[in-house]
Amino acid sequence: MDSKYVRFGRYREIVLDTKLDPTTQREQFFHELCHAIRHVGKQTMMPEAFRELQERDARHFTLYAALPYHMVKNYDLEDPDLLDRWAYDFKVSYELCEERLEQIKRRACCTNHF
């Protein structure tokens, strides 16, 4: 079973695949949470481009929700063990931590602060 966000009238739920490891479940929860709070409509009824836009938005949301700036800003970005620390502290995958760190570095480079 795939993880998903379901809405029936006023009833809403996020269904997670219990066969997945807790780290993957956590990341999928944030992904589906984005759909619940930011998106409307049924993806099966949308044009492909709009569905892709929602999926991209959910991926970005997952980065922010799983590794919030106000919590990660206190870590030393030069720490060689940073990604392992984030993965452990925030209970997310090493790969998600890599992606978030790259995003932070890109933004810091453009704005000259972190």
Question: Each residue of 83-105: pLDDT tens digit?
Answer: 999 999 999 999 999 999 999 99
Among 109, 68, 101, smallest CA distance to 84 is for 101
Q: Domain ranges in the chain?
A: 1-66, 68-114
CA 75/CA 86 separation, integer angstroms? 9
Reported pTM: 0.84
Residue 84's CB is within 10 A of a number of other CB atoms, namely 12
Q: Which tens digit of pLDDT belongs to each residue from 54-75?
A: 889 999 999 999 999 999 999 9
- 35: Cβ–Cβ under 8 A, 6 or more apart, which residues? 5, 54, 58
